[in-house]
Amino acid sequence: MNFERFEKNLIDNIKEAQLKLGYDNRPMSLNYMTASLKNLTGEDITDDLLSAFSEYVSPRLGTLSFRPIKDGICITISAEGTSYVNSLTGYDFLAELIKKVSSHTSLEEVTAVFRRYSDNVVIEESTTEEFDLLAYFPDKSPDEYYYCLAAEPCISGGCHAMYHRFIREDYEEMFSN
């Protein structure tokens, strides 16, 4: 079981939400698809596995609760856990990316953020109509995610770019032919 990767992903998703929405010292719920959880843990998702994971992360994230949703699991992280995540540092790239896409910006300005954080970044045109560019760091620094970038049409207020991020396995399952 790869609880370390699952925990890191859960923490990264909590931190992303905090950077986007702010921190309010409350519990947080995140939905995970079963396939994603299997990709993160390397195991079929069972009640026993979730219980063992909850015990593994409890010193840092407090008690987790789980409830089934369609094709997945809703994980609720305690206020103690969200407070712990709020105290973590090392998310400068993600913070800058979120700040950039929250303003009227172009894909060129967004990809410049990636290039500021690594000379070893891959930015390539998408092979699907769902987004314009794919960006990722092959050496997983500053992070391991695959970012699907898209530009929305420019209107009088300016242009807007957006992103979705995936673990490599989920990206490959969704977009590889």
pLDDT in tens, 123-155: 999 988 889 999 999 999 999 999 999 998 766
Q: Does 79 lie in the same domain as 102?
A: no
Q: Does 109 lie in the same domain as 151?
A: yes
Q: Does 96 lie in the same domain as 77?
A: no
pLDDT of residue 154: 67
Model pTM?
A: 0.93
Q: What percent of the chain has pLDDT over 90?
A: 84
Q: Which of 13, 11, 27 is nearest to 79 (CA)?
A: 27
Number of domains in the chain: 2
151 near 171, Cβ under 8 Å?
no
pLDDT of residue 146: 98
At 47, the pLDDT band (50, 70, 90 cuts) reads: very high
Q: Does 20 lie in the same domain as 61?
A: yes
pLDDT of residue 156: 59
Q: Which of 30, 60, 86 is the last residue of a domain?
A: 86
Mean pLDDT of all residues belonging to the chain: 94
What is the domain range of residue 122? 92-175
Q: Does 97 lie in the same domain as 82?
A: no
